[in-house]
Chains A and B, each alone.
Chain A
């Protein structure tokens, strides 16, 4: 069979293309298949897939301004478009939306495994307030569907907030 794209060389590759639910079978030669391969990557890049699933978590946010990374300037909308983050700090800036996404990809939101030596010693890169730490744990518990733990954490946060309010 002759290649259906260039019409010159012998077709060596059977190629299935799916565009908008339409399945097309093509017989291609070596060269045209390579070109198609590159096209295909652009069509079905992991970024598109990610952008697709990250959109699922996008609840209508009303008047809230879009999340933006203070360090590199990427917005969550940028990330949804390109499927790649701008810098390490983006993970923190987009935490609210990224944690459910990470959970969906990996089934977990907690790293287990090696870390650079210094991190082990100082336990994390920056000191954060107790309430912030608790809120992060709460988010994680919700992500992991550990609702009893979540309720316990919620009560501790409320108690802390009440204490802060009661202060003169």
Chain B
């Protein structure tokens, strides 16, 4: 795969397939791993960081998972490309802050990505569409096992996998689901649920991870604790919590549909009208409107557009993706204009309602 092919495709996790994909957009597993012979990235010399990159390159090429994968050095990308990788959920914001001696490996359909020299030497991510935590964990586990045959990871028999920050020690595992909860937000129940989640050792964040707002009614829900519970236990408890959230969202959707039908249709029609005719639109505003359209499609109030196109739009309207399409840097206002035009075109050709 080339960089151009990457930008041209839709990541697997946006395909809108998989179980309960109307509410759970994607499931993600992240494993933090470090090589025993080097200091952690922030404490390592330039030479050691390069050693980590080349050890990892040697190891991943011996596995079966990365045929046709793309291995990128972050310092060789321009600023728009770096931002695009973040928008595609392939790397973190922290990974581009100091791009020297950092890299990322991306599998062909963007299901697997491995950041090299982020906070830990390796951050293995597996990202799948729909509510699919167990399969996602199984794949991450296999990749970990294959890499481990050629890399010696920092571990202790008491504390498990040793990580740069003690908050990740033990399993090094972060499991998360991206949930679309418009009806819970509409019925003002989302806050209560997020509070309850945090009491159970889980946390909720926005669409783009740590420190971001829940734009477009998307919530990323993940485990906090990594030590003292097995990987299966962690995945199981997140799965159980997500099942309850799905049930609550469905109940709220049914209630809104049954009791406030006209109000709901009004919001959907207005959202559609804005998306079709706005001349300036920010990404937050667009996400919030698209979220309502998505709900309309899920509830069968609207016939189209399909979920695949809507999911892809969530990424295509992000600032760097827009700038790549235009082939130049744009100011915030220029982006809002380009975004409005792009969205309006998409919606005006779709047969809707």
Contact indicator B282/A50 (Cβ below 8 Å): no
Q: How far is the CB of B93 from chain A (nearest CB, A)?
A: 8
Segment at the interface with A among B18-26, B62-70, B152-160, B255-263: B152-160
The CA-CA distance from A30 to B144 in the complex, in Å, is: 39
Q: How far is the CB of B213 from chain A (nearest CB, A)?
A: 7
Specify which chain A residues have a CB less than 8 angstroms from the CB of B171 in the assembled complex.
Answer: 111, 113-114
Contact indicator A91/B231 (Cβ below 8 Å): no
Q: How far is the CB of A130 from chain B (nearest CB, A)?
A: 15
Contact indicator B164/A85 (Cβ below 8 Å): yes
Q: How far is the CB of A112 from chain B (nearest CB, A)?
A: 5
The CA-CA distance from A125 to B152 in the complex, in Å, is: 12
Specify which chain B residues have a CB less than 8 angstroms from the CB of A88 in the assembled complex.
Answer: 34, 36, 154-156, 162
Contact indicator A123/B165 (Cβ below 8 Å): no
Specify which chain B residues have a CB less than 8 angstroms from the CB of A92 in the assembled complex.
Answer: 156
Contact indicator A111/B158 (Cβ below 8 Å): yes
Specify which chain A residues have a CB less than 8 angstroms from the CB of B188 in the assembled complex.
Answer: none
Contact indicator B39/A86 (Cβ below 8 Å): yes
The CA-CA distance from A146 to B217 in the complex, in Å, is: 45
Tell me the nearest residue of chain A to B119, going by C-beta: A84
Q: How far is the CB of B122 from chain A (nearest CB, A)?
A: 13
Contact indicator A108/B228 (Cβ below 8 Å): yes
The CA-CA distance from A46 to B168 in the complex, in Å, is: 12
The CA-CA distance from A62 to B226 in the complex, in Å, is: 34
Q: How far is the CB of A135 from chain B (nearest CB, A)?
A: 13
Tell me the nearest residue of chain A to B333, going by C-beta: A9
Q: How far is the CB of B168 from chain A (nearest CB, A)?
A: 10
Specify which chain A residues have a CB less than 8 angstroms from the CB of B227 in the assembled complex.
Answer: 102, 105-106, 108-111
Among B170, B171, B232, max chain A CB count under 10 A is at: B170
Q: How far is the CB of A131 from chain B (nearest CB, A)?
A: 16
Contact indicator A87/B148 (Cβ below 8 Å): no
The CA-CA distance from A107 to B225 in the complex, in Å, is: 8
CB-contact partner of A85 in B152, B166, B173, under 8 A? B166
The CA-CA distance from A86 to B164 in the complex, in Å, is: 7
With A87-B38, A87-B43, A116-B148: A110-B225 Cβ-Cβ less than 8 Å: no
Contact indicator A125/B155 (Cβ below 8 Å): yes
Q: With an 8 A cutoff between CB atoms, is A164 at the interface?
A: no
Q: Within residues 73 to 125 of chain A, which ones have a CB less than 8 A from any CB in chain B?
A: 74, 82-88, 91-92, 98, 101-102, 105-117, 119, 123-125
Specify which chain A residues have a CB less than 8 angstroms from the CB of B160 in the assembled complex.
Answer: 111, 113, 115
Contact indicator A84/B167 (Cβ below 8 Å): no
Among A13, A31, A88, A107, max chain B CB count under 10 A is at: A88
Q: How far is the CB of B42 from chain A (nearest CB, A)?
A: 6
The CA-CA distance from A85 to B120 in the complex, in Å, is: 10
Specify which chain A residues have a CB less than 8 angstroms from the CB of B119 in the assembled complex.
Answer: 84
Q: How far is the CB of B94 from chain A (nearest CB, A)?
A: 9
Q: With an 8 A cutoff between CB atoms, is A72 at the interface?
A: yes
Tell me the nearest residue of chain A to B230, going by C-beta: A113
CB-contact partner of B282 in A30, A98, A110, A136, under 8 A? A30
Q: With an 8 A cutoff between CB atoms, is A41 at the interface?
A: yes
Q: With an 8 A cutoff between CB atoms, is B13 at the interface?
A: no
0/1 string, B189-228, CB within 8 A of A gives 1: 0000000000000000000001111000000000001111
Q: With an 8 A cutoff between CB atoms, is B283 at the interface?
A: yes
With A114-B231, A116-B153: A50-B159 Cβ-Cβ less than 8 Å: no
Contact indicator B228/A111 (Cβ below 8 Å): yes
Contact indicator B40/A85 (Cβ below 8 Å): yes
The CA-CA distance from A136 to B157 in the complex, in Å, is: 12
With A41-B211, A87-B154: A12-B228 Cβ-Cβ less than 8 Å: no
Q: With an 8 A cutoff between CB atoms, is A7 at the interface?
A: no
0/1 string, A118-154, CB within 8 A of B gives 1: 0100011100000000001000100000000000000
Q: A residues engaging B (CB < 8 A)? A: 9, 12-13, 29-31, 37, 40-41, 46-47, 50, 71-72, 74, 82-88, 91-92, 98, 101-102, 105-117, 119, 123-125, 136, 140
A sample of 7 more A-B contacts (CB under 8 A), given A50-B166, A102-B159, A114-B230, is A50-B167, A88-B36, A106-B225, A109-B228, A113-B233, A115-B157, A124-B157
Q: Can you identify 5 A-B contacts, CB atoms within 8 angstroms?
A: A29-B332, A85-B164, A111-B157, A116-B153, A117-B145
